[in-house]
Amino acid sequence: MKKYMKQWLLILAFTLTCAGLSGCALFKEKKNELDGTITGNTYQAAFYSNDGDKFMTMSGQKINLKSNIVDEYTYTSGGWGYVQTLSSVVTVIIDGREVESCGSTMIFAEDGLEPEVDFKAPEIITSTASGIADNTAVAGVVNRYRNLFGKSRVVVIQSQLGDPICAYSGDKVYWKVCDDLPKTTKLMVDEKALYIHRANFQIIDKALLQ
């Protein structure tokens, strides 16, 4: 009986060890997925509040987004202790210089890619929906400036609260989720890159705008 009990204890210890190592490996793998680089030509980096107000701009040729790990004090099956977790703070490195950012919307646009409409410009901001963030309000704002879009597809970028920030247009527009950049989507607008971090967006055929 003691022999079998000893064997079971060894199997249990081995299983727990493997599970712990697997958990660490998965955590490291997930962390690595959240570290990435935006490279290419020069990029213009714009930082926005939750309401879509631009409060800072920068530019650089190499931009890194780096996740941060923190020790979080929490209760687990083994009792209270510290567990490593991904922080909501992202380190932005622009040509070797760092910006710590938490929660802000960021747009990285390749040089030469300019928005057709800046919905926050003084002459346009009065036409927004007074803070009402819904699809009808956004559509109304976009339709008002339909004739400004020269290309067949329109990319409308909104703040996290749904307020329109700006819009681009292009003949060829597509997107993909960046596995190696935290909460970031990459769009290509007529062969120029546009990275959007923590923002809503729509890609609309211009023919649908009335």
Residue 186 tokens read as 């990459």
pLDDT of residue 28: 41
Query: Which residues have a Cβ under 8 Å from the Cβ of 197 and sit 6 or more positions away?
Result: 65, 90, 105, 106, 107, 108, 181, 182, 183, 184
**Span 39-55, average pLDDT:** 87
| pTM as predicted | 0.69
Name residue 109's beta-bridge partners.
44, 194
Q: What percent of the chain has pLDDT over 70?
A: 73
Query: Which residues have a Cβ under 8 Å from the Cβ of 122 and sit 6 or more positions away?
Result: none
Angstrom distance (rounded) from CA 35 to CA 191: 24
Phi, psi of 120 (to 5 degrees): -100, 0
Alpha carbons within 13 angstroms on the beta-carbon side of residue 164 total 33
Q: CA distances (Å), 166 to each of 45, 130, 135, in order?
A: 14, 16, 15
- Give residue for tokens 């997107």: 175
CA 58 to chain centre: 17
For 179-192, the pLDDT digits (tens) are 777 788 889 999 89
For 17-33, the pLDDT digits (tens) are 444 444 444 444 343 34
For 126-167, the pLDDT digits (tens) are 333 444 344 566 677 777 777 778 788 899 999 988 889 999
Which has the closest alpha carbon to 46: 32, 57, 59?
57
pLDDT of residue 126: 39
What element of type H or E holds 158? strand 153-158
